[in-house]
Amino acid sequence: MKARVGIIGAGPAGLLLALLLHRSGIDSFVVERRSRAHCESRVRAGVLEQGTVDTLTAAGVGERMLAEGHVHHGIELRFGGRGHRIAFEDLVPGRAITVYGQQEVVKDLIAANLAAGVPIRFEADDVAVHDIDGDPFLTFGADRLDCDVIAGCDGFHGVSRASVPANRLRLFEKTYRFAWLGVLADVAPSASELVYSASERGFSLHSMRSDLVSRFYLQVPPDARAEDWTHEAIWAELKARHETVPGFTLATGPIREVDVAVMRSFVVEPMRFGRLFLAGDAAHIVPPTGAKGLNLAVADVRVLAAALGEYCRTGSEAGLDAYSATCLRRVWRVQHFSSWMTSLLHRFGDGDGGFDRRIQRARLEGVVRSRAQATVLAENYVGLPYEDA
C-alpha cells in the first residue's frame, strides 16, 4: 500500500492530522494498535483551549462539541477558606475554555475521517517504523505501507519515538513526588466551573464531563494504587479538601472509574528525525494541572499539517525543516505554565519548617490580588494564540 503520509496512532493528534491533510487533498493512512471501541471510550482530560475549539470547528468536527460542550469563562482557586474566581471574560475578552471529553473529540474525528474515506486500520499488530532517513515505510501484521513521511502520533509509550536511535534523542524529564488519583462519578457537578483547591491536606480538582458526570482529582503519594482507595474514602477526602468555604457542599454519587496518573514533564528534542515527525504525547508530556496535553497536540498538528501541505503542493521542505523549532517554542512555554500551576497548588512537604508553604500562599495571594498576575494565568489557561508561539 502507499500513501503520502503514514500516521501512527488514532488519538486526537493522529486523527486531526489525517482530517486536515484530507481537506488539503493529501492522502494518509492511519494505523492504530487498539480497537476503535477502546479509542472511543478512553476517558482523558476534556478542557479545550479556545484555539483548539476554533481548529476543530474549522476542520468540520465542531457541531456536537459546540452543542454539548460546556463553555466556561473562568475557574476558581480555593485556598485559605475562600474561593477566588479568575474571570476570563474580564481578563482575556472573547476567549474561553470548553469542557468536552477527549473521548468525544476522538469519536467525532473517527466518524469524520471514515465518512471522508480516510483509511484507519484499528487493531494493527506489530507496528514498526523503517528507513526514516531514506524511503520510509511502516509494517503491521503482514502489511506494508510505503509513504513519503511518517507522523508519530502514538503517545508516550508508542513505537515511533522508540524507533529512533538513542544517540539522536535529547530527553528532558522531571517526575514529581506525587500522583493524581482520578475519579469519574455519576453525579451532577457541585460547581458551574472548575475548582482548583489548595488545601492543607493536599491539592484536589473538581471538574465535570457533562450535566450528570463529574471528574475529580486528588493529590496522592506517587506509589498510590487505585485499588487501595475505597469509594467511601475517596468521597471523604474530596469533601475534606473542597468543603473549605462557607456554604459549599460536595454532592456524592456512584463512582464509575478510578485511576492513578503519574505526574511528569517530558520533552524530546528534536521532534523530527529524517522523514519521521513526532507530535503530541510522543514528543512531550506535561503535568495535567494546566490541562494542556490535548491542546498542545493540536498545536503540533496545525504546524505539521501546514508544513506537509506546503511540501505536497510545491515540493518545498522549508516548513518541515522548521517544524521542530516552531513546535518546541510553544512546548517549552506550555511546560513552564504547567510547572508553575503545579507548584502553585500542590503540597510538597514541610521539611523546610513551613517556609515553602508560606511562599506558596504568598504566590496564590499575588495571583488573586494582582490583575497582572491573574491575566498571565488566564491567557495561558485559555491558550496562547498560535501566532504568539
What is the b/e burial string over 275-305, where b = at least 16 CB atoms within 10 angstroms of the residue's CB?
bbbbbbbbbbbbbbbbbbbbbbbbbbbbbbb
Residue 94 Cα distances to 71, 73, 385, angstroms: 12, 9, 12
Q: What residues are labeled active site?
A: 72, 196, 288, 292, 381
Whether the CB-CB separation of 284 and 307 falls below 8 Å is answered with no
pLDDT of residue 17: 98
pLDDT tens by residue, 289-340: 999 999 999 999 999 999 999 999 999 999 999 999 999 999 999 999 999 9
Residues 361-367, mean pLDDT to the nearest whole number: 97
pLDDT tens by residue, 266-276: 999 999 999 99
Domain spans of the chain?
2-174+263-384
Residues 196-216, mean pLDDT to the nearest whole number: 94
Q: Is the pLDDT of residue 67 over 90?
A: yes
Residues 165-181, mean pLDDT to the nearest whole number: 96
pLDDT tens by residue, 110-128: 999 999 999 999 999 999 9
Q: Is the pLDDT of residue 389 over 60?
A: no
How sure is the predictor about 74, in pLDDT bands with cuts at 50, 70 and 90? Answer: very high
Q: Is the pLDDT of residue 354 over 90?
A: no
How sure is the predictor about 387, in pLDDT bands with cuts at 50, 70 and 90? Answer: low
pLDDT of residue 209: 86
pLDDT tens by residue, 1-50: 999 999 999 999 999 999 999 999 999 999 999 999 999 988 777 899 99
Note the pTM of the prediction, 2 decimals.
0.95
Q: Which residue has the higher pLDDT, 262 or 42?
A: 262
pLDDT of residue 144: 98
pLDDT of residue 314: 96
- The domain made up of 2-174+263-384 has a fold known as FAD/NAD(P)-binding domain (3.50.50)
For the chain, what is the mean pLDDT? 96
Residues 283-293, mean pLDDT to the nearest whole number: 95
Q: Is the pLDDT of residue 59 over 70?
A: yes
